[in-house]
């Protein structure tokens, strides 16, 4: 099927050649936006050269006059002599050998190409390129008898095409497995024009005298474009991939803008104990399923200098230091991220061990400081009380001897009662000191406590005090259950209740209760009295010093609230007091315990 337009015969092969030229132009326009990527400028120029070759050869093939055929054939050499040069320069960049490109190489390649082009255009004067030519009357192709210049062009082009293939083939074995498919496609793209040219020069094609080379070169351009569309090689990953990634001890991940993993280095696979099949193409959330929130934090940030990542790999807790750098395309649009992972597990574990030891040492120091503070306060309070008590005992003993010597038995009972009271007070002081020591040194196991039973024991211990003071105690019917240690909590309630009786109203009215804090998972137990309350300035000191703010003659050493604070803190709770300092409204003393 053909149509004649003047001296031109339009056939299906003409259409194919024109389409090949158009394909080259379209591909060059597509590559223009990647022109700053190393090597892409030469690939763009290659497509333009192919387009010129295809268009001019289409005109040559269609022409029916020999002079027109030779004219268009000479113009087609603009593509023929320069296309292999651009292909070779592209292959150097792709194989990471661009350091070989220098002024001498460029001058030699373009100089020889220009000489060959001049030789073709001046053939009518020397016939070194074509000795003779004529038109095949059946196929309308041009049959040439080649001269020396043609074979020099042939050798020049084939040397460049062979060198291009030699640059690219070794990359199949050097690049990671996920790149090998791309390299194989590029090798095929290199071989295509060679096959087409061999078919033309040695007349082994289906149509004698028809040059298939520009069509096959167009196929090469389509293949290279497909590689970019399929793998994004010009967008996300530089063509000349830095081999340093393969030997880096740090794990490297390249992700696209959809957070899919596009590439990893061997160190990443080793660090994470994963295979390529389980990694390439997967999302970051699939590879690190427990770190989705952290991955969401990475998304909007262009760069992260350092961030710690904790992941469980093969049943072991592993720590990574991660650094993130954004990748941009030629339009300066972010289209991926480079993530570097460094295994810092050993360093982190050592730091945690050191931190734990430091915290333990700090706690021990704080305990010793508390002990020193306790002893210091004890000097001012307890020692003074013991001195008074022992002095009272000694004085009473002297009076007792004197009364017996004088046989005056009327005051004996009163003196003996005084000795008894002083001895009881001494015993009370010693017991409080022993309680404080046991709280500081004893390790206990917390368990559920029955607060109702504990309060029954407290009331038995304080029975005389409750009856003597005519105190009224109001308690709830049920108590929420907390974790604690019953003997110690009994001491807390004994101190709180005895203080409330001592400093409450006349008679004292005590109300006990509890409140649950579900969010904090704790329970606050409290006792309210009807005394005079406590000023704000005294509330801040209440649990810190061994002193009594009410200086009326009431039994006690001032140790009680300090013991309460020590017990509750060791059980994981806290103590406090609430008071407006208004007479009759009293105070609310409380302590908290953790809930199961």
pLDDT digits (tens, 9 = 90+) for 541-590: 777 644 444 443 334 445 678 778 888 988 889 999 998 878 878 899 99
Q: In whole angstroms, what is the distance from residue 508 CA to residue 502 CA?
A: 8
* For residues 121-147, average pLDDT: 88
DSSP H or E stretch at residue 298: helix 292-298
Burial environment of residue 582 by CB neighbours within 10 A (0 to 12, 13 to 18, 19 or more): exposed
Q: In whole angstroms, what is the distance from residue 57 CA to residue 209 CA?
A: 12
Does residue 78 have a pLDDT over 80?
Answer: yes
Tokens representing residue 508 in the block: 């004292």
In a domain, 416, yes or no: no
Place of tokens 């329970």: 523
Lowest mean pLDDT across 409-418, 425-434, 546-555: 546-555
Q: What total of structural domains would you count in the chain?
A: 3
Q: What is the pLDDT of residue 229?
A: 58
**Stronger pLDDT, 101 or 527, i.e. the higher one:** 527
Q: What is the pLDDT of residue 319?
A: 79
Does residue 306 have a pLDDT over 70?
Answer: no
In a domain, 406, yes or no: no
pLDDT digits (tens, 9 = 90+) for 432-491: 666 656 665 566 788 999 999 999 999 988 888 899 999 999 999 899 999 998 888 988
Alpha helices in 442-485 (DSSP H): 451-461, 463-469
pLDDT digits (tens, 9 = 90+) for 171-187: 777 665 656 667 777 77
Asked if residue 225 and residue 256 are part of one domain, the reply reads no
* For residues 87-94, average pLDDT: 84
The answer to whether residues 451 and 477 touch, using CB atoms and an 8 Å cutoff, is no
Q: What is the pLDDT of residue 235?
A: 45
In a domain, 365, yes or no: no
Asked if residue 248 and residue 207 are part of one domain, the reply reads no
Domain end among 277, 312, 343: 343
Q: What is the pLDDT of residue 242?
A: 47
Q: In whole angstroms, what is the distance from residue 115 CA to residue 172 CA?
A: 36
Which CATH number fits the domain that encloses residue 8? Answer: 1.20.1070
In a domain, 435, yes or no: no
The answer to whether residues 59 and 82 touch, using CB atoms and an 8 Å cutoff, is no
Domain end among 343, 371, 390: 343
Asked if residue 551 and residue 482 are part of one domain, the reply reads yes
In a domain, 174, yes or no: yes
pLDDT digits (tens, 9 = 90+) for 316-326: 777 777 788 87
**Stronger pLDDT, 259 or 463, i.e. the higher one:** 463
Asked if residue 262 and residue 178 are part of one domain, the reply reads no
Number of H helices, E strands in the chain: 21, 16
Q: What is the pLDDT of residue 149?
A: 92
Q: In whole angstroms, what is the distance from residue 337 CA to residue 339 CA?
A: 6
Does residue 285 have a pLDDT over 90?
Answer: no
Does residue 224 have a pLDDT over 90?
Answer: no
Confidence of residue 237 (pLDDT cuts 50, 70, 90): very low
Q: In whole angstroms, what is the distance from residue 97 CA to residue 91 CA?
A: 8
Does residue 289 have a pLDDT over 90?
Answer: no
In a domain, 369, yes or no: no
Q: What is the pLDDT of residue 158?
A: 83
Q: In whole angstroms, what is the distance from residue 133 CA to residue 145 CA?
A: 6
* For residues 61-79, average pLDDT: 89
Name the residue among 370, 322, 308 with its Cα closest to residue 546: 370
Asked if residue 67 and residue 154 are part of one domain, the reply reads yes
Output the pTM of the full model.
Answer: 0.46
The answer to whether residues 186 and 224 touch, using CB atoms and an 8 Å cutoff, is yes
Share of the chain above pLDDT 70, in %: 75
Does residue 329 have a pLDDT over 80?
Answer: no
Which CATH number fits the domain that encloses residue 330? Answer: 3.30.450.20
Lowest mean pLDDT across 42-56, 419-433, 548-562: 548-562
Mean pLDDT estimate for the chain: 78
Tokens representing residue 23 in the block: 């394909």
What is the domain range of residue 265?
Answer: 244-343
Q: What is the pLDDT of residue 441?
A: 58
Q: What is the pLDDT of residue 112?
A: 94
Name the residue among 44, 48, 49 with its Cα closest to residue 90: 44
pLDDT digits (tens, 9 = 90+) for 485-524: 888 898 899 889 998 998 888 899 999 999 999 888 999 9
Share of the chain above pLDDT 90, in %: 18
Does residue 336 have a pLDDT over 50?
Answer: yes
Does residue 20 have a pLDDT over 60?
Answer: yes
Q: What is the pLDDT of residue 550?
A: 45
Q: What is the pLDDT of residue 574?
A: 92
Tokens representing residue 140 in the block: 């309308």
* Angle subtended at Cα 445 by Cα 439 and Cα 447, rounded to the nearest 5 degrees: 115
DSSP H or E stretch at residue 575: strand 575-578
Asked if residue 554 and residue 470 are part of one domain, the reply reads yes
* For residues 60-77, average pLDDT: 89
């Amino acid at each position: 099927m053909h149509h004649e337009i003047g001296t031109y015969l339009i056939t299906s092969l003409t259409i194919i050649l024109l389409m090949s030229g158009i394909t080259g132009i379209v591909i060059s326009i597509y590559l223009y936006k990647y022109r700053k990527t190393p090597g892409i400028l030469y690939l763009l120029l290659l497509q333009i050269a192919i387009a010129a070759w295809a268009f001019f050869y289409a005109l040559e093939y269609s022409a029916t006059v020999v002079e027109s055929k030779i004219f268009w054939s000479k113009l087609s050499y603009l593509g023929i002599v320069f296309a292999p040069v651009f292909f070779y320069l592209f292959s150097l960049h792709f194989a990471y050998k661009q350091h070989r490109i220098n002024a001498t190489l460029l001058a030699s390649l373009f100089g020889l190409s220009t000489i060959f082009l001049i030789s073709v255009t001046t053939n009518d004067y020397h016939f070194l390129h074509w000795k003779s030519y004529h038109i095949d009357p059946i196929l309308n192709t041009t049959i040439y008898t080649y001269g020396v210049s043609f074979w020099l062009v042939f050798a020049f082009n084939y040397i460049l095409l062979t060198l291009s293939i030699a640059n690219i083939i070794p990359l199949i074995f050097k690049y990671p497995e996920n790149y090998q498919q791309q390299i194989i496609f590029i090798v095929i793209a290199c071989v295509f024009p060679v096959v087409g040219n061999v078919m033309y020069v040695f007349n082994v094609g289906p149509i004698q005298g028809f040059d298939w080379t520009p069509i096959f070169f167009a196929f090469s351009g389509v293949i290279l474009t497909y590689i970019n569309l399929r793998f994004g090689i010009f967008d996300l990953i530089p063509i000349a991939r830095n081999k340093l990634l393969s030997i880096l001890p740090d794990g490297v991940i390249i992700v696209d803008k959809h957070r899919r993993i596009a590439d990893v280095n061997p160190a990443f696979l080793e660090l994470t104990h994963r295979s390529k099949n389980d990694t390439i193409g997967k999302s970051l959330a699939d590879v690190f399923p427990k770190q989705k929130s952290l991955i969401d934090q990475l998304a909007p940030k262009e760069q992260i200098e350092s961030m710690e990542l904790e992941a469980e790999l093969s049943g072991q807790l592993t720590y990574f230091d991660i650094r993130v750098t954004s990748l941009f395309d030629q339009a300066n649009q972010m289209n991926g991220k480079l993530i570097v992972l460094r295994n810092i597990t050993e360093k982190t574990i050592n730091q945690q061990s050191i931190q734990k030891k430091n915290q333990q040492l700090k706690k021990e120091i704080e305990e010793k400081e508390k002990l020193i503070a306790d002893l210091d306060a004890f000097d001012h309070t307890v020692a003074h009380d013991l001195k008074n008590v022992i002095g009272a005992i000694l004085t009473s003993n002297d009076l007792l001897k004197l009364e017996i010597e004088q046989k005056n038995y009327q005051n004996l009972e009163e003196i003996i009662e005084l000795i008894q009271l002083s001895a009881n007070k001494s015993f009370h002081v010693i017991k409080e000191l022993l309680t404080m020591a046991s709280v500081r040194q004893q390790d206990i196991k917390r368990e559920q406590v029955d607060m109702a039973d504990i309060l029954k024991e407290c009331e038995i211990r304080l029975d005389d005090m409750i009856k003597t003071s005519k105190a009224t105690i109001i308690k709830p019917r049920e108590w929420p259950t907390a974790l604690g240690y019953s003997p110690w909590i009994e001491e807390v309630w004994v101190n709180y209740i005895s203080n409330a009786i001592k400093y409450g109203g006349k008679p004292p009215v005590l109300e006990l209760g509890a409140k649950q804090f579900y969010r904090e998972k704790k329970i606050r137990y409290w006792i309210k009295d009807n005394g005079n309350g406590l000023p704000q300035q005294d509330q801040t000191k209440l649990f810190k010093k061994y002193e009594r703010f009410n200086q009326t003659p009431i039994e006690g050493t001032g140790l009680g609230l300090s013991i309460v604070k020590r017990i509750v803190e060791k059980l994981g709770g806290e103590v406090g007091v609430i008071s407006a300092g208004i007479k009759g409204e009293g105070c609310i003393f409380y302590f908290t315990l953790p809930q199961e």
